[in-house]
Amino acid sequence: MTAPLLAIENLTRDYTLRAKGATRHLRAVDGVSLAVEPGSIFAVVGESGCGKSTLARIVMALDRPTGGTVRLGGDDLFALSPKALARKRRDFQMVFQDPYGSLNPRHSVGRIVAEPLHLLDDAPRGRDRQSLVARALEDVGLPAQAAERYPHEFSGGQRQRIAIARALITNPKLVVADEAVSALDLSIQAQILRLILSLRDRHGLTVLFITHNIGVVDEVADRVGVMQAGRLVETGTVREVLDHPREDYTRTLLAAEPTLAVLGRRRRRA
């Protein structure tokens, strides 16, 4: 086994809730450990409230853990100085769920895609910058001319391609995708999943893929962790976990998934 690119150990995040004068503690992430090898796609699957998005936010250093460590390429993200962390951010980028809310409608696509370049000390300028943006757009299957247009001129699937181009512009080692295909029509979802797989194959991209959809896990991921109430209840290769689930909760999730195996109301009742 090669050294993991992302190593999460015993990660915990507590929130304090104050409502109606009472204070309550909520453990959103509870002792999660996982390792993601370079060039692989690790999916975290779970239902709403299981802590998967909190986990994603901590890996992106958008939130701090209560306990535990997140190591990216050996560096403990939360032991870095603010300046060192800011420099490190070029190595991990994020793709969000909502392709309508995550792109600034007032900015041109070129400006949106180039935005993370401010993280680079040696960011290209002028013509070099333009050609870098053009290549990033072509890399995700959009024409270079898209740079001059605005988000509202694009469909949901195209916007998600723009969001992916933005995430890739700094040439990151890790991309965290939080429900990145959940808002899309099925045919578009399939295209974006193919794009993610092709980017992994072409660039050796490592992806932490957060989703509620087991069908999607089966399509893109190498390994999967099933999350419930803040804990990772089962981890393994996609084949192990989906074909031979060990945990009751995993079996419940698998059984609830609507498939074409059951056709028609009457048939099932008979």
Partner 1 sequence: MLAIRNLSIAFPGPAGPARVVDDVSVAVGRGESLGIVGESGSGKSMLSLATIGLLPGSARTSGEILLDGKDILRLRERELCSLRGRRIGMIFQEPMTALNPAMTAGQQIAEGIRLHRTVGRSEARAEALRLLDRVRIPDPARRIDSYPHEMSGGQRQRVGIAIALALKPDLLIADEPTTALDVTVQKEILDILDELVADLGLSLILISHDLGVIARSTDRTLVMCRGRAVEEGPTETVLRHPSAQYTRDLIAALPRRARAGLGDEARHAAGGAR
Annotate 13-75 with DSSP letters as a single string. Answer: EEEEEEETTEEEEEEEEEEEEEEE-TT-EEEEE--TTSSHHHHHHHHTTSS--SEEEEEETTE
216 binds partner 1 (CB under 8 A): yes
Query: Cβ closer to partner 1: 46 or 110?
Result: 46
CB atoms within 10 A of CB 24: 9
| Per-residue tokens: 132 | 């870098």
Least distance between partner 1 and beta carbon 130 (Å): 33
21 binds partner 1 (CB under 8 A): no
Least distance between partner 1 and beta carbon 261 (Å): 2
187 binds partner 1 (CB under 8 A): yes
212 binds partner 1 (CB under 8 A): yes
Least distance between partner 1 and beta carbon 56 (Å): 18
Helix (H, G, I), strand (E, B) or coil at 255: helix
Query: Cβ closer to partner 1: 1 or 256?
Result: 256
Query: Cβ closer to partner 1: 47 or 75?
Result: 47
5 binds partner 1 (CB under 8 A): no
Helix (H, G, I), strand (E, B) or coil at 229: coil
Query: Angle at CA 233, nearest 5°, toward 173 and 52?
Result: 45
Query: Cβ closer to partner 1: 22 or 260?
Result: 260
Helix (H, G, I), strand (E, B) or coil at 207: strand
Query: Cβ closer to partner 1: 35 or 190?
Result: 190
218 binds partner 1 (CB under 8 A): yes
CB atoms within 10 A of CB 2: 8
Contacts with partner 1 by CB under 8 A lie at 47-48, 156, 185-187, 189-190, 212-216, 218-219, 242, 252-253, 255-269
